[in-house]
Amino acid sequence: MSKFDYDLIVIGAGSGGVRASRLASGYGAKVAIVEESRFGGTCVIRGCVPKKLLVYGSLFSSHFDDAVGFGWTVGDVSHDWSSLIQAKDKELNRLENIYKNMLNNAGVELIEGCGAVVDKNTVAVNGMHYSSKKILIAVGGKPYIPDFPGNQHVITSNEALDLKSLPQHIIIVGGGYIALEFAGIFNSLGTKVEIVLRSEQVLRDFDKDIRETIESELKDKGIIIHKNKSVKSVREADVGKFTVILNDTKIDVDKIMFATGRKPNTLKLGIDEIGVKMDENGAIKVDELNCSNVQTIFAVGDVTDRVNLTPVAINEGRVFAERFFNNNPLKLDYNNIPSAVFSQPQIATVGLTEEEAKRDFDVNIFISRFNPMKNTISGRKEPTMMKLIVDRLSDKVLGCHMLGDDAAEIIQGLAIAVKCGATKKQFDETVGIHPTSAEEFVTMREIKS
């Protein structure tokens, strides 16, 4: 009989933790999962899912405009923010119950409360101690707000998803994907949106043509961008009104939202006290097997601050369970991971940017820009841009980038081709589906550079 209560205790019931616990239990392990908030984690409860539901809701404003060009008579329309939030909450409740049922059906014991690591084999929850052969930490991250006068008046993406009313005027601080996605949501619903950037351009680490094009589109939609600026202080000007002081500007707004990054949620875990190594940002340092320097303690997902994407956390949870509970020594390949920004217009990418590729390869660049077929009748101008980066020597496609409708759906398929090492010749020999935007990826012939 085992001297431990469990074979595996997982702290954090988000995407990575749920996948690891379900699989490990299915392979015969005795598993418990600890969650202090809601089952489903950041993606399901506070991130990807609710955010995209709000994106869908906001897009109808442009759909109504497009409809007129196609012969529809559109009367007076209005939007009820509270109805959207209620519908979103109903869906999140449904998804949380699905996650709980999946775990229960897999034989995983659910422990609700804040988990802390007492020693290399013990987790404490609500005053109870549970022992385990292995401990997997999958607690994710949380929004980061810098310290400045008045920062108690600031909201993050967490609060933005649950606002009781739609703000008339909002400042969003940050130029990453969360900032751009919420800028699109609020702007499309009629809010005046201003973005504050500490740098010169949005979407650091994305391809330069993507960055330049989305910035132009944001401005065309009426979004004001303040570059090379930072928030010095925030003060309450009236009930529900705030004055934001930038370097040399004062702006009165209803809300100020910070989307300036996230930090690993390790503060309450107690792992530093037992010698688990973390970096200066609080991320758990792990090796290629997701193992920390303490042999029995592992970590997956955003808490490791490697590639902070939900599908990556899910796959890290999968390979952990396969390796340690199914004798299947998998490793996750972190190359050519696709990603998307659900901005308006949408962005998706896989592989190397032009800047990255030119460091190691002699490249051919192919770019196509066009107004989508739908917009030729609707009269709305929102360009699509597609870009291929090709190794001139091997003809291998190194990167695919797209800005425009359905970019994420299109790039997901191309990600398979890039993962398989497809060449530009193979792209060219592929028959396109007409008329679609996606066919442009197999018809680009003119080399930009």
Q: Which residues pair with 132 in a beta bridge?
A: 6
Beta strands in 16-173 (DSSP E): 31-35, 109-112, 115-119, 122-125, 128-137, 141-143, 169-173
Residue 162 DSSP symbol: T
The reply to whether omega before 435 is within 30° of 0 (cis) is: yes
Q: Say how many C-beta atoms besides its own lie within 10 A of residue 156's C-beta.
A: 18
Strand pairing class (122-125; 128-137): antiparallel
CA pair distance 134, 113, nearest whole angstrom: 19
Q: What is the C-alpha separation between 83 and 104, in angstroms, rounded?
A: 32
Query: Using CA atoms, how far apart are residues 122 and 110, in angstroms rounded to an integer?
Result: 16
∠ Cα 294 300 303 (to 5°): 90
Residues with a known catalytic role: 434
Instruction: Look up residue 112 and give its two tokens.
Output: 């609700």
